[in-house]
Amino acid sequence: MIISEKKLENAQIEIQIEVPENRVEIEYKSVINNIRNSAKIDGFRKGKAPIDLIERKYMEIADKEVAENLLRTEYYEAVKEKDFKPISMPQFDFESISRGKTFTFKAIFEIMPTVQLGEYKGLVADERMCAITDDDVTAEIDALRERNANISKKEDDGKVEKGDLARIKVKRIDTLDESEIEETPYRDYSIVVGKSKSEYTFDDHILDMKAGEEKEVKIKYPKDYEVADLAGQSARYLVKIDEISRMELPAPDDDFAKDLGEYATIEEMKNGIKSNLEKFVADRSKGEAKGKLLKEIVKNSTFDIPMSMVEKEMDSLFHKVQERTGYYTEDINEFTSTLGIDADEFSHKLRDEAFQNIQTMLVLSEIAQKEELKVPEEQYKKVLEGLAARTSKNIEEVEKIIADNNSREGIETELVLDVALDFIYENATVKKGAPLSLAEFVKN
């Protein structure tokens, strides 16, 4: 029977169970009898050796087997009696077991995570705004023209001019000793000369240089420069021209629009690009506001999360990192060593992100349950359409696969988290800021 019960951190329960002497004796008799039936003892047929001889010879084995049997059976009976829902195997702890005495042990096991929600209605968040201009559309079209330009290498005596595509080699030298400069490798860059409007690029410094030519360049960066490592510094670089190419851009006309295959006219292309940019900034700004609201709810909620769930999420995140890097190994130490990353710092970041992911999921799931939120049918159909497009199947085929795999509930469980996030946003006070330029919006 359970003689004590205690709630521990990380969604753990500790129960102390006492098994009465008569129950212990029954188990000993059963175990010893089984040992007697299978033991081979000189001078006796199998199963006919005296019990007292079996007990003297095999009591240590009997102790271990009785303990294992009682731990398992008494634990499961206690869990059933209390209606616990363990999600991990129990850890047992006991001092000793012996015949003729009660047997007392502790069992520690994890249960499902819990969350006590903070306030999630009536919150306040700022939302950035952005006004898309004709210049933004023109810049996007120019970028498309560059990607579709006719590129031809300049002759050896050709010089760098604005509009050229230049492949350059760069290394910073003001942080190096004289002896280190020669052996420090260059970094390779490709730039369209004159495209950047920043005065802190190499564009103006390399004008009129030839392929193979090298020069020292000094740049003083402002205190508010976006690259923190360079802000407020004066840096010296060696810049070498590797290759210079002319770029002949296609004219921004109807033929160009048709060649890309998406639009019939340049006007249609401009309208399409503007619409895409407006959708991009609207989705981004709304997503940022939702993220702020969700972060506030998580901050004001309390969680009890089992470590096994955190470790499982860490494994999932680790595999995603491996997919992005293309380097696969089950050993984090080997992975970090190969990539030159601090193992402790990497593991700490994985753990923090795992906790954040689980907390976010718990908050959204709890809100969905409290508010009895459902996935709109049109939202579910959009998922089906996406699956159909990715798998080159029609909607009916996708629906049949989902039905055969009984996976609709799993899909809807994920979708309802988005519904819950929309609910938070719709029930918040969202303050829209003054419109930013696209450059400012993207930079920030």
Last residue of a domain, one of 188, 220, 248: 248
Could you tell me if residue 78 is inside a domain?
yes
CATH classification of the domain holding 72? 3.30.70.1050
Residue 47, pLDDT score: 78
Could you tell me if residue 299 is inside a domain?
yes
pLDDT digits (tens, 9 = 90+) for 93-118: 999 999 999 999 999 999 999 999 99
Q: Are residues 157 and 264 in the same domain?
A: no
Residue 71, pLDDT score: 96
Q: Are residues 271 and 207 in the same domain?
A: no
- Residue 32's domain spans which residues? 2-111
Q: Are residues 264 and 353 in the same domain?
A: yes
Q: Are residues 204 and 298 in the same domain?
A: no
Could you tell me if residue 232 is inside a domain?
yes
Residue 54, pLDDT score: 84
**CA 328, CA 33: separation in Å to the nearest integer?**
52
Could you tell me if residue 180 is inside a domain?
yes
Q: Are residues 341 and 434 in the same domain?
A: yes
Q: At what angle do helices 343-370 and 266-299 cross, to 10 degrees?
A: 90
Work out how many domains the chain is built from and give that number.
3
Last residue of a domain, one of 231, 248, 265: 248
Q: Are residues 368 and 427 in the same domain?
A: yes
Which residue ranges of the chain lie beneath pLDDT 50?
A: none
Last residue of a domain, one of 91, 111, 131: 111
Q: Are residues 241 and 311 in the same domain?
A: no
Q: Are residues 313 and 349 in the same domain?
A: yes
**CA 58, CA 55: separation in Å to the nearest integer?**
5
Could you tell me if residue 126 is inside a domain?
no
Residue 314, pLDDT score: 95
CATH classification of the domain holding 335? 1.10.3120.10
Residue 107, pLDDT score: 96
- Mean pLDDT over all residues of the chain? 93
Could you tell me if residue 132 is inside a domain?
no
Q: Are residues 95 and 201 in the same domain?
A: no
pLDDT digits (tens, 9 = 90+) for 346-402: 999 999 999 999 999 999 999 999 999 999 999 999 999 999 988 888 989 888 999
Q: Are residues 307 and 396 in the same domain?
A: yes
